[in-house]
Amino acid sequence: MTDALFCWCRAGFEPELAAELTERAALAGLPGYARTERGAGFVEFIGEDGTALSRALPFDRLVFARQKLLRLADLRGLDPTDRITPVLAALDALGPATPFGELWVEHPDSDTGKPLAGLARSFGNALRPALRKAGRLTAQDDPRRPRLHVVFLGGHHIVLATSDPDDSAPWPLGIPRLRMHPDAPSRSALKLEEALLTLLDADERERLVRDNMQAADLGAAPGGWSWVLMRHGMKVTAVDNGPLRQALLDSGRVDHLREDGFQWQPRRRLDWMVCDMVEQPRRVADRMATWFREDWCRHAIFNLKLPMKKRWEETRICLEAFEHQAHRPLLVRARQLYHDREEITVFATPRQGPRT
């Protein structure tokens, strides 16, 4: 039986993830403790039953975790000349099991972890055939089966873990590889692209992101988020006293209103509202709740800029206040995205059926 979760996060936000895991586990009646170091890029949460912890802490409810893994073994003091034998032995010690569908060999996305990239890549090339020969890995990658993660924390230190494709991020380290488009007005475009990819599933993207939808972008300048919505076929009202890139205005799909995003309201209900305004997170959460309470939009994506201290506490307070003040049942997903910095991104939409 596994006894720990292993979660990737943004380097420097380990205390926030540790606090989140500790609080959520305690509320589920599964106490444990977090182990990490600031700047490490990951948090281990140790309890009596890692499987029970994983069920109680579904990945799509976690805010500061980029990825959620179930730790299988912690291998230390490895001989650099033969790391494969102890990996196979550790898997054998877990008993017989169906083969894993994929092998991901990873390293922390941190200053100390990035130099391990070459070692991780070469070790994966050597380990993959050995796992297949031992019957621990399918002959061809099968993304429907649980994955095996081999995590290098040092040349002599490996963590073995597994992830459920239905309860984890579909990318190594939980990081989608997006490229900055040369026509994008700002790098903030990557945040909204990642939010649509991360916070909505494939069915939701097909249903909710369609041509000729009507959208508003609050705090739009210089236009990165408006540009993303426009590229998805939407007609956008960009609200900001600052200037937009001329190419957006020339597209014929973006109207610029020089108004305050906290004061402006649409004349009729819109399909989407997005907001990346730099303001106190509680004030933003309150305004976002107004949009849903007044039924000004069907769906929203917005950012909450976090304070320097007590960031998990502030996150919880803002999300709880947002849902309460909306005065309607909402489906809310929040995540600190790879392209976020001192902030989190929130997706909200009316909940279908009774609230769970």
Q: pLDDT tens digits, residue range 14-55?
A: 999 999 999 999 999 998 999 999 999 999 999 988 999 999
Q: Say how far apart CA 258 and CA 128 lie, in whole Å.
A: 57
Please give the pLDDT value at position 71: 96
Of 124, 150, 174, the one marking the end of a domain is 174
Q: What mean pLDDT is predicted for residues 281-305?
A: 98
Please give the pLDDT value at position 354: 38
What residue type is assigned to position 245 of the chain?
R
Q: Is residue 290 part of a domain?
A: yes
184 near 224, Cβ under 8 Å? yes
- Same domain? For 145 and 205 the reply is no
At 218, the pLDDT band (50, 70, 90 cuts) reads: very high
Q: What mean pLDDT is predicted for residues 311-338?
A: 97
Which has more pLDDT, 266 or 1? 266
Backbone angles phi, psi at 189, to 5 degrees: -55, -35
Please give the pLDDT value at position 353: 47
Please give the pLDDT value at position 96: 85
- Same domain? For 87 and 112 the reply is yes
Residue 253 has pLDDT above 70, yes or no: yes
DSSP state of 65: -
The catalytic position among 191, 305, 309, 310 is 305
Q: Is residue 180 part of a domain?
A: no
68 near 59, Cβ under 8 Å? yes
276 is in an annotated binding site: yes
Q: What mean pLDDT is predicted for residues 278-303?
A: 97
- Same domain? For 294 and 168 the reply is no
Of 174, 206, 231, the one marking the end of a domain is 174
Q: Say how far apart CA 298 and CA 263 lie, in whole Å.
A: 19
- Same domain? For 336 and 250 the reply is yes
Residue 287 has pLDDT above 60, yes or no: yes
188 is in an annotated binding site: yes
Domain residues for the domain of 166 are: 4-174
Q: What mean pLDDT is predicted for residues 144-173?
A: 97
Q: Is residue 179 part of a domain?
A: no
Residue 279 has pLDDT above 90, yes or no: yes
Residue 356 has pLDDT above 60, yes or no: no
Give how far Cα 276 sits from Cα of 60, 250, 280, 310, 316, Å. 22, 23, 12, 21, 19
- Same domain? For 202 and 299 the reply is yes
pTM of the predicted model as reported, rounded to 2 decimal places: 0.94
Please give the pLDDT value at position 229: 97
Write the CATH number for 148: 3.30.2300.20
Please give the pLDDT value at position 352: 73
Residue 155 has pLDDT above 90, yes or no: yes
Percent pLDDT > 70 in the chain is 99
Q: pLDDT tens digits, residue range 68-119?
A: 999 999 999 999 999 999 999 999 999 888 999 999 999 999 999 999 999 9
251 is in an annotated binding site: no
- Same domain? For 27 and 143 the reply is yes
Q: What mean pLDDT is predicted for residues 164-191?
A: 94
92 is in an annotated binding site: no
266 is in an annotated binding site: no
Print burial letters for 215-241: b (CB count within 10 Å at least 16), e (below 16).
Answer: bbbbbbbbbbbbbbbbebebbbbbbbe
Backbone angles phi, psi at 97, to 5 degrees: -160, 160
Count of domains in the chain? 2
221 is in an annotated binding site: yes
Radius of gyration of the chain (CA): 22
- Same domain? For 121 and 226 the reply is no
Please give the pLDDT value at position 355: 36
- Same domain? For 255 and 321 the reply is yes
For residue 276, how far is the Cα from the chain centroid?
17
**Lowest model confidence (mean pLDDT) among 127-136, 152-161, 180-189:** 180-189
75 near 97, Cβ under 8 Å? no
- Same domain? For 158 and 92 the reply is yes
Please give the pLDDT value at position 3: 79
Which residues is 161 bridged to in the sheet? 71, 149
- Same domain? For 149 and 224 the reply is no
Q: What mean pLDDT is predicted for residues 212-234?
A: 96
235 flagged as catalytic: no
